Structure 1
Amino acid sequence: MQSVLLSRVLVLLWASTAWADVLVQPDFDAKKFSGLWYVVAMASDCKVFLGKKDHLLMSTRAVAAGAGGNLSVHMEFPWGDGCKRVDAGFLKAGAEGHFRVPDLGYLDVRVEETDYSSFAVVYIYKELEGALSTMVQLYSRTEEASPQALKAFQDFYPTVGLPDDMVVMLPKSGAPAAPAPAHRPRPGQAPRQQVPPHSLSPLCCPVKPIPGALAYPSGAGVSLGPSLSPNLTAFVRGSATPRRHHYRRGH
């Protein structure tokens, strides 16, 4: 019992160090961030993600600002012959734009950069049964990410230790997936290898803009629902082997 508690404490101490250098969008505005987002690209060292990334499709996040700086987020994932839905409460943790989602095992969620009108780069640090993983998601207001959005995503994910082979550009309905755009290295930085395109299955869950504000209760927990399969639960809550290195973000 003592060894289990000690391991838990060590995980939390290690994690708090790993988060320290990930920034949050200055003066984050939850109301401007609200509305419909498409998740158009992802990078992660999560074992579940890595095993399925070549078959993933574009999903959506419908965000509503709640009381106390919390967010209510409705997620929809193409799954089999239809959609699977998850409602999650993103609870404010410190600064505006910094959250945690205990029921999903999200220890740390940060809106690292956004212009509110076209894109957002979202950092997620997860834990499940003591295993840690990092994820970076690119949100877009449309199914086509802008060059500015792609550059922000590509500039950020390497700073948290995610290489190009852990990246996927998610396809929209009926279209082949595009390869990740070539990265433009900073002065003195070696160019990185381009990410190859991945296989496609058609988008089975049409995504539609959601008019008006969403009436999800602020600070709500997560409702996975009885129809949510164990595989999707594993993906949303997914875990991976802890990374051993601490990566600092450079400017």
Structure 2
Amino acid sequence: MGELGLEPVLQGPRPSGPMSCPLHTLPPVSRVLMRTKGQESAKLLGCGSQFSGLWYVVSMASDCKVFLGKKDHLLMSTSTVKAITGGNLSVHMEFPRADRCNQVDAEYLKVGSEGHFRVPALGYLDVRIVDTDYSSFAVVYIYKELEGALSTMVQLYSRTQEASPQAVKAFQDFYPTVGLPDDMMVTLPKSDVCSLRGTEAP
């Protein structure tokens, strides 16, 4: 699961351009925000230095077929975020597997408002930080393309491996608003595979 989505090694051919599907196929911001019925989680929040640092991806929900076929075997991954020029983010991701630790680096390109990105290299057409307090949790919305199919993903980021009740509630309140039912959600088990192998984020 590529972090701010499915691990890129699981993906097929990547889009050749920054937007590989027509803009009219993207879910409008207004649709995502209206579905939250005015809740605080609907706000597009800033990132930058406040969002930098280590995050654990503790829960996910998605209608991606690849995710649904593998979700019962996935483990808690990490993203190390660094603010760079132009409001972009440099993200180092580590995905534990039974016998190895896969690592991926990607640049999240700022689009318009704060907390709004795209990641052409990973097929992420629309990435939004829809809720965060910066110090403990973030709810991240991703609209992505995998092997020509469009899908929606929502991830719960936590500064620790145990998400707070506030964080869990924010996540559980948001993912149904973008059409994801409970059976498409998974809470990811902890893993020390990457830490035991001594991997370090750049």
Name the residue aligned to 1:118. 136
Preserved contact between residue 110 and residue 116 of structure 2 (Cα < 8 Å): yes
CA-CA distance at 1:27 after TM superposition: 4.8
CA-CA distance at 1:96 after TM superposition: 1.1
Preserved contact between residue 136 and residue 160 of structure 2 (Cα < 8 Å): yes
* 1:22 and 2:32 correspond: yes
Gaps of 5+ in 2: 1-19, 34-41
Percent identity, aligned pairs only, is 70
- d(CA) in 2 for partners of 1:113, 1:131: 26
Task: Provide the secondary structure at the position in 2 that maps to 1:153.
Answer: helix
Q: What is the TM-score normalised by the length of structure 1?
A: 0.64
- d(CA) in 1 for partners of 2:93, 2:188: 15
Name the residue aligned to 2:194. 205
Name the residue aligned to 2:14. none
Superposed CA RMSD in Å reads 2.3
Name the residue aligned to 1:176. none
Structure 1 residues 22-74: Cα deviation after superposition (integer angstroms, max 9, x where no partner): 34645513110000000000000000000000010000000000111100000
Name the residue aligned to 2:38. none
Name the residue aligned to 2:182. 164
Task: Provide the secondary structure at the position in 2 that maps to 1:206.
Answer: helix
Name the residue aligned to 1:226. none
* 1:75 and 2:93 correspond: yes
Name the residue aligned to 2:11. none
Q: 1:12 aligns with which of 23, 29, 34?
A: 23
Which residue identity does 1:206 align to in structure 2? S
Task: Provide the secondary structure at the position in 2 that maps to 1:21.
Answer: helix
Give the greater-gyration-radius structure (CA).
Answer: 1
Q: What is the TM-score normalised by the length of structure 2?
A: 0.79
Alignment of 1:1-251 (within 5 A): 11-17=22-28, 19-23=29-33, 25-173=43-191, 203-206=192-195
Structure showing the higher strand proportion among its residues:
2
Which residue identity does 2:166 align to in structure 1? Q
Preserved contact between residue 25 and residue 114 of structure 1 (Cα < 8 Å): no
